[in-house]
Amino acid sequence: ELPTVVIIGRPNVGKSTLFNRVVGSQQAIVEDRPGITRDRKVLEASWLEVPFLVVDTGGWMPGGDALEEKVSRQVEEAVRDADVVLFVVDASVGLTDDDQTIANWVRRSGRDVIIVANKADNERRETDRWEFLGLGLGDPVPVSALHGRRAGDLLDVVISRF
Ligand code: GDP
Ligand code: MG
């Protein structure tokens, strides 16, 4: 069984962009596991010849309406199966209350979490990542999922956690 990396975070932080960046052109669905819904995309990826599964999620929305709660529950299920959780935050926006709520919850999940400070498109935005130290989940790793900036550095950290 391949190690599983699950991407979570509030909506619009760039989870799906990161997912697409990580799986690249090797878009093969390798597992049709029961319980995986259409809202959770699972693809195989590899870095430095280390294969793993990547799961995109719909976005965790605390205190939302019925549909949002359902999506949030699917995220919780995905995290339960995770070897590594990529908790994506938006370095161009900064720390939000929803980030804090997700952090409190993911800490309790006991999973191995990496804070990904996405939209770090330039040097200054990279520096903005230190604000997310306040989540208490370790050093934020800066990346620009859109441009690919420091994506390799992030993947180095990911495979070191397996
Ligand atoms: P999701 O809701 O978390 O899956 O977010 P998406 O991947 O759909 O991205 C939301 C928006 O952020 C889109 O307009 C993306 O193009 C944009 N975005 C994602 N990653 C980056 C990034 O690294 N830099 C910038 N500037 N925009 C990004
Ligand atoms: Mg998405």
Atom of ligand 1 nearest to the CA of 118: 23
The string of pLDDT tens digits covering residues 19-45 is 989 998 655 444 444 444 445 588 899
ipTM score here?
A: 0.99
Q: Is the CB of 145 under 6 A from ligand 1?
A: yes
Give me ligand 1 centre to Cα 90, in Å: 9
Domains and CATH numbers, the chain: 4-160 (3.40.50.300)
- Report the distance separating Cα 93 and Cα 71, nearest Å: 23
3 state DSSP class of 28: coil
Give me ligand 2 centre to Cα 56, in Å: 7
The string of pLDDT tens digits covering residues 113-136 is 999 999 999 999 999 999 999 999
pTM of the entire structure? Answer: 0.90
Q: Is the CB of 21 under 6 A from ligand 1?
A: no
Give me ligand 2 centre to Cα 7, in Å: 10
Contact 40, 7 (CB under 8 A): no
